[in-house]
Amino acid sequence: MYWENELETLKRTDLEKLQVKRLKNTIQAAMNSSYYGNLYKQMGLSADSVKSVSDIRKLPFTTKQNLRDNFPYGFLGLPQKELIRLHSSSGTTGNPTVIFHNRHDIDSWANLMARSLFCAGVRDTDVFQNICGYGLFTGGLGFQYGIERLGCLSIPAGAGNSQRQIKLMQDYGTTVAHAIPSYLNRLFEVFQEEGFDPRKDTKLHTFVIGAEPHTEEQRQRIEEMFGVKAYNSFGLSEMNGPGVAFECTYQNGLHIWEDAFLIEIINPDTLEPVADGEIGELVMTTLDRQAMPLIRYRTRDLTRILPGACACGRTHVRLDRIAGRSDDMFIVKGCNIFPMQIEGVLMKIPEVGADYLITLETINGSDEMIIEVEVKKDWFNGDITRLDKLSRLITGQIRDEVLVKPLVRLVEPGSLPKSEGKAVRVKELRKALNS
């Protein structure tokens, strides 16, 4: 079963024809903006430059810095009076990245979200609790519109206040919920503190998780804790937000909706395309957005196209889970390390609790990686010998994975800083110390 049978099962040749048609429209709309209009005219580019999908490579890349440098209206493809919504990053330093939408864009986004949820098995008979921040952050309203388009009973719970989240689940019989993975670890701790078992004391059967990179081990842990199926969601605010790519019930990759987004996977160093199946940086072009089209946007997310067809029958290509970001990588003692490598180790250790924090610091002239790891409550009981043994186990397994010996500090559950937004996994102190 499909939300939109015709679009989701298009033959490859027909899908590419649709992409070329929509790409031409996108370029035409983009040229109404001051940024693309000036740039493309200088380069002699127009919609006529594109005859096939591969012709996208004739066009220059767009970066987050381009968006910031042309803040706020430099990428608008429509008059301001036609806009009805904006979403924005926090913008705590410098200009934020801001995306504008007209009515068509909001309608298209809602439909993509409904399609995404449907492919993950959500139906109009479900009670859907959206545990995500509303407002400028795209996750709240993006999911809300999709939930309503699909026809579920929606509970716009917002982020945080775990005791209230549990009460809402129990009062209204929540069956599906959406939240960021790091928060669900904390929510499970509160279930335990309140004396409840989510597997017995709720009707939950599905979680949708996303908004921050997470490992397969993290997903499996969530499924085991709550007794649910957890489906991976991928999106970014520059491409609307959630609803860009979603797992279907076969859970063998994220279907990226190619009627709305044209994707490329490139080598982030050479900027050349990589072969299907090879990990590289995801580059995206909007194909169905009118107010603020973006062309060849460098996401910095690292992934790959999965080979073969999906058993669900959808013909849109599948992406592997995001392996991290090219700008998330840090170097310690000559070794390239991604935070998700460390998470993958920690989530396999049963004694490890809900959270961890990596601090990079210079100690006695040497760069060190300090990892604070929350330990489950029944383990943090003052038994120094047992804690020391666990610390040595974690140290050894991380060293084997990243080839650098960390300084591991075990801390009490709930002691690391918590945020209603995406988890902060790395704190860089070396630059300040060395300046």
Please give the pLDDT value at position 433.
37
Choose between 421 and 271: higher pLDDT: 271
| pLDDT score of 178 more than 80 | yes
The pTM for the full model equals 0.84
Residues 62-114: tens digit of each pLDDT: 999 999 999 999 999 999 999 999 999 765 457 889 999 999 999 999 999 99
Residues 314-338: tens digit of each pLDDT: 999 999 988 877 777 788 887 878 8
- At 233, give phi and psi (nearest 5°): -120, 140
Positive or negative, the CA dihedral 152, 103, 33, 56 is positive
Taking the mean position of all CA atoms in its chain, how far away is CA 139? Answer: 10
Please give the pLDDT value at position 218.
87
| pLDDT score of 434 more than 60 | no
Enumerate domains of the chain plus CATH numbers: 1-325 (3.40.50.12780), 330-434 (3.30.300.30)
Min mean pLDDT across 7-21, 90-104, 328-342, 421-435 is at 421-435
Strand 241-247 and strand 229-236: pairing? antiparallel
| pLDDT score of 360 more than 60 | yes
- C-alpha dihedral over 87, 92, 95, 98, to 10 degrees? -10
Residue (of 398, 404, 403, 336) closest to 373 by Cα position: 398
CA distance 79 to 365: 56
Name every residue whose Cβ is closer than 8 Å to that of residue 151 and which is 6 or more positions away in sequence.
Answer: 124
- DSSP element (H, E) containing 182: helix 181-193
Taking the mean position of all CA atoms in its chain, how far away is CA 336? Answer: 22
For tokens 């381009």, what's the residue? Answer: 66
Taking the CB of residue 298, how many other CB atoms lie within 10 A of it? 21
Percent of the chain whose pLDDT exceeds 90:
72
CB 220 within 8 A of CB 294: no
For the chain, the average pLDDT equals 91
CB 48 within 8 A of CB 20: no
The beta-strand segments (E) located in 40-189 are: 85-88, 98-101, 127-130, 153-155, 176-179
Please give the pLDDT value at position 211.
78
Residue (of 105, 168, 163, 117) closest to 144 by Cα position: 117
Name every residue whose Cβ is closer than 8 Å to that of residue 288 and which is 6 or more positions away in sequence.
Answer: 22, 105, 108, 259, 260
Taking the mean position of all CA atoms in its chain, how far away is CA 325? Answer: 11
Mean pLDDT on 34-52: 97
pLDDT band at 382 (very low <50, low <70, confident <90, very high): low
